[in-house]
Structure 1
């Protein structure tokens, strides 16, 4: 399905009826041949927008999958790049793609860690955390703990960056497609265990900004202008950059600041 190298419809059905962890273990060998992988256009846009804010020393790719985001981090970080994911299968593919640990003159050291993003096994060791396409796997009630965990692994002044796209126009074909997908997933999770959490309509920008502020971040929105604008003039895609304020998480953040994209 999708390409001759991609998963079959039966393989996708088996994945959807599994847990998140086991489902991605099954999908891992063919994941990079599906539309689920973050497009290169988004990866490149985020990398170019972050570059003027660096250089960074240590970077973390949250829910790294097969390591597409780690390629972005390797161009931004001088010291080390770490990927964390709950799926051992996805990590194995990522290790094979990036060639294991690299360092010295060839670039930053690269490491892969198997862990749950809701319970990160790191101290305040990172200057930059990125994430691409993973937030649909977290329920809205899990965002406070997720963002607090990211806050804890960042050094003071460290940044948490991720792209977010505008929702489709109500009544458009994409609107109905995403609504239908989310409805099917909710029915599936109501009647089958373990659940497979993957919702496309629960990660709303307003809620995200509020939770980031509660976790102790101050946030900026950088339009990714290469993706155009909607009819109302708002950008189709933005990069959220949340900066860790000094002190512990919990209330030191402030509301979002909308900025122009950095010069590239």
Structure 2
């Protein structure tokens, strides 16, 4: 739910009719008061799942937004953390709000599809950003991530199980994606944000094609569905 400090309906409308980059520049000051910010329980669950896989030297928060994922990395990485995002507004908020002790943090404005780094990272994480990439962009995106990881480095992100067909969550996501497709058919520039295009089977296949060894790890904090499958997984892909 939106908090009282969050954006107004008018502000959301203006943002939705902007480009992705400009929309997030506008949203940045109030982003942490919206449901789009990754909940702390997800961040904590991912940190707990990754801790036994370390220690890690340097970490990259891909599409870092206001820096929630960078906060996770400061718990896991000993030598330094970098956050990268293409929204200057989001990075400005991240610089102001993320002030860890003991681990240097830097912020870089760049597109995730053209990362300006050498293979310098031991761990790359990302939270809630993949709806901004069309399915055809995944091979290039995953290739970019692999290119900035050191040999043996890890790419990790949480992925929730899709809502069951016919459920309220299913129809909610379907309706949102349909509305975005209509908006993008009628209005320019496009605003790419689709919740149903990042499917586990496709993601696993493209990660493997990019040269990763993929492992799925249940996040027990979120329990299991009636059929016994996890409600949320951590996808780990090792270079």
Q: If the length of structure 2 is used for normalisation, what is the TM-score?
A: 0.99
Structure 1 outlier segments of 4+, above 6 Å:
none
Name which of 144, 147, 150 aligns with 2:139. Answer: 144
Q: 1:133 aligns with which of 128, 136, 141?
A: 128
Whole-angstrom distance in 1 between the partners of 2:14 and 2:169 = 25
Output one character per residue of 1:41-85: Cα deviation in whole Å (capped at 9) or x when no partner.
100000000001111010000000000001100000000100000
Give the Å deviation of 1:20. Answer: 0.4
Q: Give the Cα–Cα distance (whole angstroms) in 2 for the partners of residues 109 and 162 of structure 1.
A: 22
**How big is the shift at 1:226?**
1.1
Q: Which aligned pairs between 1:225-244 and structure 2 lie closer than 5 A?
A: 225-244=220-239
The answer to whether the aligner puts 1:6 opposite 2:1 as a matched pair is no
> What is the CA-CA distance between 1:219 and the residue it aligns to?
0.6
User: What is aligned with 2:54?
Assistant: 54
Q: Which residue of 1 aligns with 2:35?
A: 35
| Alignment partner, residue 218 of structure 2 | 223
Structure 1: gaps spanning 5 or more residues: 245-264
Residue in 1 that maps onto 2:66: 66
Paired residue for 2:171, among 171, 176, 180? 176
The Cα offsets for residues 80-126 of structure 1, whole Å up to 9 and x where unpaired, read as 10000000000000000014xx6xxx322100000000000001000
- Give the Cα separation in 1 of the matches to 2:106 and 2:39: 23
Distance 2:68 2:102 in 1: 16
Q: Secondary structure at the match of 2:233?
A: strand
Q: Secondary structure at the match of 2:181?
A: helix
Give 1:195's aligned residue: 190
- The secondary structure found in structure 1 opposite 2:83 is strand
Which whole-Å CA distance do the structure 2 matches of 1:108 and 1:125 have between them? 16
The answer to whether 1:94 aligns with 2:132 is no
Task: Give CA deviations for 1:10-37 in whole Å, capped at 9, x if unaligned.
Answer: 1011111000000000000000000100
1:36 is paired with a residue of what secondary structure?
coil
CA distance in 2 between partners of 1:160 and 1:107 (Å):
23
* Alignment partner, residue 203 of structure 2: 208
Which consecutive unaligned segments of at least 5 residues does structure 2 have?
none
CA RMSD in angstroms, aligned pairs only: 0.9
